[in-house]
Structure 1
Amino acid sequence: MTNNQNEGFDFTDPVGTWRMIRDANLDAWAKGMATMVNTEGFSKALGLQLDTMLAATAPMQKTITQSMEAYLAQANLPSRAEVISLAQRMTNIEMRLDDMDAQINEILVAVRALAAAPAPAAPAEPAAEPAAEPAAKSAPRRSRKDATE
């Protein structure tokens, strides 16, 4: 089989010819669009168009938001604001729990350090007189009930 090629054109492969035409077209369009899009005028025009569309759809968006909130209230479902508020509260609770967990871990480390430390030696003689202690303990306790009766 011989390939009859005349300046890049192959008579035996019509699909290849269309592919070459398509690729050349795509390259030309890509270069033209890149040139047009990378201008300041295009950016300003596109920004103006987007601002206009947003301004035109703002009343409709407000109406849709109000009707959606009314529907959610009738269906006894939370609105977006209520879900956001709940998420913020849960995040706050999680942060507080993390802080408490860190404090508990610090206390646990301190308790373990105290438990690992050797116990102080007991004194050889008692410091207080033994006769004074029973007198102090034998005094009756007073309660509020006794005072009101």
Structure 2
Amino acid sequence: MADKSNDPVALWQNMIGEMEKGFNAFANQAMASPEFSKVVNQVGGATAGAQKQLGELMEKYLVSMNMPSRSQMVGMAERLQSIEGQLNEIKAMLHQMQSASGGAAGGSSQAPRPPRTKRPPPPAGGEPK
């Protein structure tokens, strides 16, 4: 086997490990300071403010283009779901009423058939007189 002091892969791994330890120590020290948390809070607040402004700007743009915004689309979807639910309830009530009226009349559950207007052909020997 190769000597570990001359092995380039081992030297590379050792160097990366030492750099990682140094970076972790620096990051831990930086994150422990109150200045770091203050900066992170400021950046988070600025990002939230920018996101809100972008949302308002986008909504104004969509209004000017005569297109619905996301909130309007969500509102329409909710209303459609409500309407579909109400339609399903109406269907169920109609089905109940139909089955109740069909059972009370003693009739079949099939729809009434139209009257027959076509007559069968006359017998083959002619009509008796």
How high is the TM-score relative to the length of structure 1? 0.46
Structure 2 gaps, min length 5: 104-129
Determine the C-alpha separation between the residues in 2 that align with 1:46 and 1:28: 22
In the comparison of the two structures, how many residue pairs are matched? 101
- Structure 1 vs Structure 2: percent identity of aligned residues? 17
Displacement after TM superposition at 1:94 (Å) = 3.9
- Paired residues of 2:30 and 2:36 also in contact (CA < 8 A): yes
Q: CA shift at 1:80, angstroms?
A: 2.3
- Which of 44, 64, 70 aligns to 1:50? It is 44
Q: Larger relative contact order (C-alpha < 8 A, sep ≥ 6)?
A: 2
What's the counterpart of residue 34 of structure 1? 28
Q: For 1:92-148, what per-residue CA distance to the aligned partner results, in whole angstroms no more than 9, with x for missing partners?
A: 22443565677789x69xx7xx9xxxxxxxxxxxxxxxxxxxxxxxxxxxxxxxxxx
| Residue 125 (structure 1) aligns with | none
Compare CA radii of gyration and give the structure with the larger one.
1
Which residue in 1 is equivalent to 2:15?
21
TM-superposed CA distance for 1:89, in Å, is 0.4
- What is the RMSD of the two structures over their aligned residues, measured on CA atoms? 3.7
Question: Quick one: distance in 2 between partners of 1:20 and 1:37?
Answer: 26
Q: Which runs of 5+ in 1 are unaligned?
A: 115-149
Alignment of structure 1 residues 66-81 onto 2, 5 Å: 66-71=60-65, 73=66, 77-81=67-71
